[in-house]
Chain A
Amino acid sequence: QITLKESGPTLVKPTQTLTLTCTFSGFSLTTSGVGVGWIRQPPGKPLEWLALIYWDDDKRYSPSLKTRVTITRDTSKNQVVLRMTDMDPVDTATYFCAHRDRPGDPFDIWGQGTMVTVSS
């Protein structure tokens, strides 16, 4: 059974760097094709894809956020980490991580999400 769970701060100040961790089980990020993505959703707004990392450490970023976002993995801990610099109140959102079986596949399993508020 695949599960994912996001963790990190619930409140960050403007200009700070956000670090979120996705801890997963039921699959390995070294299995060919597998990927983990980050998606966020501001309150009352649609979903927005942020980044993806694959089994071969290939990384993809949303063009609108690529200067601020970094995605990394720790295969020994079954974790994927998202870093977002220069946080702003508009970055207030629920952040989800999600699994995909192969490049281009949909996100078939999602974490519960973690709410992050950006405020001084």
Chain B
Amino acid sequence: EIVLTQSPATLSLSPGERATLSCRASQSVSSYVAWYQQKPGQAPRLLIYDASKRATGIPARFSGSGSGTDFTLSISSLEPEDSALYYCQQRNNWRVTFGGGTKVQI
């Protein structure tokens, strides 16, 4: 099973700052990584897929990069509403796994 390790566990930043979230896979997943945002009491929302493609309606301040085993989600200028949990997910094979999440506090 491919394990996804997210870091840091918590990120505390101020509005307007840049956030950089990491997701590391235990083996290569090519570019098959997605990122989700989850706010308390809500379902996850798809932000990024295939490592760097923004989902429909996602603001341009969200961007993704990486391939192989190391992936990054960047939020260029934090807004208060970006406070949330962020999860990465791989789909390199038919088994789906999620990372442990990074909490972004603003």
Query: Interface of A with B (CB < 8 Å)?
Result: 37, 39, 46-49, 52, 60, 62-63, 96, 98, 103-108, 110-113
Contact = CB atoms under 8 A, between A and B. Distances in A.
Contacts, number: 58
Contact of B97 (A49, A103, A104): A49
Given A37-B96, A106-B49, A47 B43 contact: no
A49 B96 CA distance: 6
**Interface size of B as a range:** 20 to 34
Interface of B: 1, 32, 34, 36, 38, 42-46, 49, 55, 87, 89, 91, 94-101
B45 to A, nearest CB: 8
Q: Which of A47, A48, A49, A52 has the most CB of B within 10 A?
A: A47
A113 B55 CA distance: 21
B38 to A, nearest CB: 8
A37 B97 CA distance: 12
B34 A106 contact: yes
B43 A111 contact: yes
B46 A48 contact: no
